[in-house]
Amino acid sequence: MATESKKLGLLALASIVVSAMIGGGVYNLPQNMAQSAGSGAIVIAWIITGIGMWFVANTFRILAVARPDATTGIYTYGELGFGKFVGFQMAWGYWLCNCFANIGYAILLMDSLNYFFPPYFKGGNNFLSIIGGSIVLWIIYFTVMAGVKSAAKLNIIGTIGKLVPLILFIFITLFAIKLSMLFTNIWGTETIVKLSDKPLGSLMTQIKSTMLVTLWVFIGIEGAVVISDRARDQAEVGKATLLGFLGCLVMYILLSLLPFGNFSQGELSVMAAPSTAAVLGGIVGKWGDWLMNAGVIISILSSWLVWTIMLAELPFAAAKAGTFPKAFAAENDKGSASFSLMVSTLIMQVIMILVYFSNNAWNLMLSITGVMVLPCYIVCTMYLWKIAAKNDNYPTDSFASLKTALITGILGTVYGAWLVYAAGLNYMLVAAIVYALGIPVFMKARKESDPGNPEFTKSERIFSIILAILGVIGLVYLFMNYKVLMAA
């Protein structure tokens, strides 16, 4: 357990939230958002996402105050509200979601290095990229093993380093904006051959196409909650979450829309990753291209470090509570979750090797990570909804009234359901496979923590059977559509 001197303050917590959200993917926002949507649809998409994620962020903020005892809340909220099996599945899914997210960072890192050392790391998942990404993976492993607080201090430096290029990008594109270009083909309905624009379909289709991207860049909003066991003051967890959310939302909107002031939707949609480099390079020349690629590398390394801390902390805390097998509770003399970190790194190594066989590894990691985190967000909002509706030990001195908490929980759940619809069936079935694989691990944990009693309650047994069936269906779907998913 971390001593008081090793606890994290508001600056370190807010830095972790920002760094967890602003990873390498933010540097490719112009292309990702414009790929299938015009600027008008993108504005609406950010309004929907901003409102929806506000309720998700506020859920974590309210729960951090309402249940300060529920450290590493992303899974504890599920267990408190819906039983041990749901709590375990939230921990399991969120943990593996982070593993996929980190390999997404590895792909982007190698692809960015290819700018400086072409063509050795082209695509981010060729043979040399797998070797290079694996080396970085293990370097970060040893960094986190040296201690969580030391790694958090490194992250503050990394957060500053990643924000500087993005702020420069925003200021330069803002002053270089051409209003005539900004308002060209706003709704993506026109064919303009000169600008490579073509009709993009209905407004709803365009908005839906951006949803997994907007979800991806907000994954990490719960960063302070996940490691709240290391927080100096639980009240600072909520403050860090709110600060991180508001700052990142403004930045994301500007990064997505300002490039339309110099480039058309058609031009942005085919830019190579990271598209911020292509945009800035097109405005100021080669140095802009170089700056953004360097920024991607700093950003990825910082976020990769944070996510590694988070994915090691969650199974560690869950094991101490009896939700994960006891082996995950092992801790070294530096206070790092040694066994949890080792297993996490080995899983990431396996995923790293598998992405070699994907045609579009970045999009695949983005999609899988997005759908796997959705159940965690939905369950947390449902838990807030539940305790507010029943007035279940809701504190009278909370900054949010009971009515505010109830509305936050309900609308956060509605937003989560919308994202499930927008994500589509294919990746949800793949996620079901991963969640179903956790059933034997849960059974082992229950035997260790509560020997002699049944692993499941009656309702949990029914839920586990349904989940197992969905996992089998997902396997069949994956086998039949493997090539389509790998090329997606």
Query: Taking 80 as the threshold, does the pLDDT of residue 20 lie above it?
Result: no
Residue 2 binned pLDDT confidence (cut-offs 50, 70, 90): very low
Structural domain contains residue 438: no
Q: What is the mean pLDDT of residues 350-354?
A: 90
Structural domain contains residue 464: no
**Digit-coded pLDDT (tens) for 44-85:** 999 999 999 889 888 888 887 788 777 655 778 888 889 999
Higher pLDDT, 316 or 162: 316
Structural domain contains residue 470: no
Give the pLDDT of residue 72. Answer: 57
CATH number at residue 106: 1.20.1740.10
Give the pLDDT of residue 151. Answer: 57
In the numeric block, which tokens belong to residue 63? 């729960």
**Digit-coded pLDDT (tens) for 220-229:** 776 656 555 6
Query: Taking 80 as the threshold, does the pLDDT of residue 449 lie above it?
Result: yes
**Digit-coded pLDDT (tens) for 454-479:** 889 999 999 999 999 999 998 888 77
Q: What is the mean pLDDT of residues 395-406?
A: 74
Higher pLDDT, 331 or 154: 331
The highest-confidence range among 54-58, 159-163, 408-412, by mean pLDDT, is 408-412
How many domains does the structure of the chain reveal? 1
Structural domain contains residue 263: yes
Neighbour-count burial of 421, counting CB atoms closer than 10 A to its CB (0-12 exposed, 13-18 middle, 19+ buried): exposed
Amino acid at the residue 237: V
Residue 483 binned pLDDT confidence (cut-offs 50, 70, 90): low
Structural domain contains residue 367: yes
Structural domain contains residue 403: yes
Name the least confident of 178-182, 207-211, 296-300: 296-300
Structural domain contains residue 140: yes
Residue 333 binned pLDDT confidence (cut-offs 50, 70, 90): confident
Residue 1 binned pLDDT confidence (cut-offs 50, 70, 90): very low
Q: What is the mean pLDDT of residues 400-421?
A: 87
Name the least confident of 61-65, 108-112, 181-185, 261-265: 61-65
Query: Taking 70 as the threshold, does the pLDDT of residue 230 lie above it?
Result: no
Q: What is the mean pLDDT of residues 321-327?
A: 90
Instruction: List the one residue out of 423, 437, 427 whose CA is nearest residue 467.
Output: 437
The mean predicted confidence, pLDDT, of the chain is 84
Range of the domain at 34: 4-423
Report the C-alpha gap between 153 and 12 in whole angstroms: 7
The highest-confidence range among 110-119, 138-147, 339-348, by mean pLDDT, is 339-348
Structural domain contains residue 445: no
